[in-house]
Structure 1
């Protein structure tokens, strides 16, 4: 039997010279050992294509409880062996290691920008967080597209792209590619950083020197939207219309956001049943905003909702939020709840005044009003410092006054 599982896993898992992060495999089965329900071994393995840990499952189909447990233990052991040795899924073709290891000797002023971008991103992929790397990649992909779209620039070198070219690129970021002023500023910063990376490595004796064509380009004006929260009356109105419109899935999603302060697309949308512990909810490192896993406490009203919807009774690998309105194997898409939310806001005449994040702000204000505890707000928001929390509260119109100083006793 071990041979059978070995062959199966060889097709599912690719050996890798890099020891990527992973999640330990475990057997997920019904509490009552019901053989009519699904038994699986679940594990987390790194996807080179998606640059994150993906959850994978191996279905166990033995005829008896003993058979399934035996198979499960064998599969867990084999997967552990592979993951610890170095493994991945969705393998991607690698750039020659020498290009990453000794870039300074591979790149000069004569190097095509498109080639230098590939090498830069390969380097950044090894030295920065996944979220930062994705940000750099987004701006530099746009830059490469501009070079391909612009006559005479397809094969332009680092030394032959000038200040005027940089200005034209940034104009097209807005006029042709449809980005906002903020997108313009992000592109300027990220492509400018790309040039600074090479400038430091290239400008030395025997090399064709380059300058940074993105230096001395001013940022476009941007307007920071002040955070807008819902009132207590609006909360009640929203709940009523969600129930009337049969949007109970949206309502539960919004209530989770109100109580947890999770980001809707990247964190809340992707939580699984197994992330909901007895008294806490876990945000894993792949989805968390700072690339670090964290637990937040479950407030009593959210605990009541979890019990009302019997969320903990579903298999731990199931996503909480699906198109079916009950936990399942596939999460909703990134824009699913946004679209439903906009529809409800439009019915209420609130469209354009509020967005999905307004529910997080509403929850923060509610918790602050009840507790006046900045440390609690900091922990629940997962802020690294109290100063960050005070700045956030200030944007919500809350000034933190340390009134306890009035209670200082006499000497």
Structure 2
């Protein structure tokens, strides 16, 4: 039985009513009406993303999400296999003529086609809605026309780059701006807060920016299409408290507990070691290619804008060098990702939740809450170095902080006080 019950065969039950209609159908069949479907492995669930052209708006696409129950499969390897099978089945159905806009209407196929063609004629001249990508571009052009300060434009562009990269990774760049909901924004904010190790202030600044972006975007789009409306309720998203603790560092006791579990998962163990010794952000590591590693100069180039602080050089300590050599990656093609598909060096990127999903069962087994994250291993390294007597300047060269003030704020977030009296003092 087909996994996709909603994909009916596209065979009309009756002859088409006219030669002109037949010619229209033939013309529609010649032109590909969809973009290649892809697997999306999002935190809210896995699915096949299928961008399909609106029947009455040529060049504009609606994204359909087909999951067919694969998210009920708990084992990630099995889910991956089923997702690949589902992708092949979707492609097969598309080649057979599947049109998601006509699901459940096969008994009136000819009549439906006629109505769609008439609809196209009636809606000629109607301005199509903006995609989120178009809306962002128009917002940026508006900011330039209004002569906003360079600092404001630069800040806005930073927020936009972060959001646009996330949309692209999640195959959402073709979504209509009017289809963006608070769940979309919350997904971006929460994932970035986890992956990038954002402070509550960074989280809140992005949230404030979205209020500015979408309120202005709606006004701009309504100048072209007075009927458009947005359904975004950002007021329902709460700001993070300034002292909200996230990405907690691991105490020696917890480190030993986790390491015992990681010994049975070599790919994940190497990934955690890389975070710890490099202090790179998880997203930087996920997008790191072999060509960015210079063992002779003992440094790694983290490329902006994937690096939160822009382009920077990460020093390679002896332990990280040993890890690199043990992986044998320097003998592989230079365009390979260090942690590629399935967590091993590959020409294909690993999906962003691959390691966190494999890390979760360890946390569940050990009773560790959500404040213990993969990114927390970077903080653990920082705390260990500071407690061992390394200077702030030495540690800053590893973390990528560009000024002492921001580094001190980072230390306060970690509740690190290296001046505290921890040895023997004065007896009573």
Q: TM-score, normalised by structure 2?
A: 0.49
What corresponds to 1:96 in structure 2?
Answer: none
Measure, in 2, the Cα distance between the counterparts of 1:304 and 1:276.
Answer: 13
Contact 1:181-1:221 within 8 A present in 2 as well: no
Measure, in 1, the Cα distance between the counterparts of 2:409 and 2:364.
Answer: 31
What corresponds to 1:376 in structure 2?
Answer: 394
What corresponds to 2:331 in structure 1?
Answer: 313
Measure, in 2, the Cα distance between the counterparts of 1:309 and 1:334.
Answer: 21
Measure, in 1, the Cα distance between the counterparts of 2:315 and 2:207.
Answer: 38
Q: Which runs of 5 or more structure 2 residues have no equivalent in the other structure?
A: 1-126, 142-152, 191-202, 223-231, 422-428
Matched pairs, number: 254
Measure, in 2, the Cα distance between the counterparts of 1:270 and 1:218.
Answer: 33
Change (3 A) 1:376 1:285: same
Contact 1:227-1:395 within 8 A present in 2 as well: no
Measure, in 2, the Cα distance between the counterparts of 1:284 and 1:181.
Answer: 21
Shift in Å at residue 181 of structure 1? 13
Measure, in 2, the Cα distance between the counterparts of 1:179 and 1:198.
Answer: 19
What corresponds to 1:240 in structure 2?
Answer: 260
Measure, in 1, the Cα distance between the counterparts of 2:396 and 2:351.
Answer: 29
Higher RCO structure, 1 or 2 (CA under 8 Å, sep 6+): 2
Alpha carbon RMSD of aligned pairs, Å? 4.4
What corresponds to 2:292 in structure 1?
Answer: 275
Measure, in 2, the Cα distance between the counterparts of 1:378 and 1:197.
Answer: 39
Aligned match for 1:228, one of 236, 248, 253: 248
Measure, in 1, the Cα distance between the counterparts of 2:329 and 2:342.
Answer: 14
Please show how residues 234-383 of structure 1 align to structure 2 within 5 Å. 234-243=254-263, 245=264, 247-264=265-282, 266-278=283-295, 279-290=298-309, 292-323=310-341, 326-383=344-401
Contact 2:186-2:237 within 8 A present in 1 as well: no
What corresponds to 1:165 in structure 2?
Answer: none
Shift in Å at residue 130 of structure 1? 6.4
Q: Which runs of 5 or more structure 1 residues have no equivalent in the other structure?
A: 1-111, 147-171, 203-213, 404-411
Q: What secondary structure does 2:249 align onto? A: coil
Measure, in 2, the Cα distance between the counterparts of 1:306 and 1:182.
Answer: 32
Measure, in 1, the Cα distance between the counterparts of 2:419 and 2:325.
Answer: 37
What corresponds to 2:182 in structure 1?
Answer: 173
Change (3 A) 1:322 1:134: closer
Q: TM-score, normalised by structure 1?
A: 0.51
Change (3 A) 1:387 1:402: farther
Q: What secondary structure does 1:271 align onto? A: coil
1:192 matched to 2:209: no
Shift in Å at residue 197 of structure 1? 8.2
1:145 matched to 2:154: no
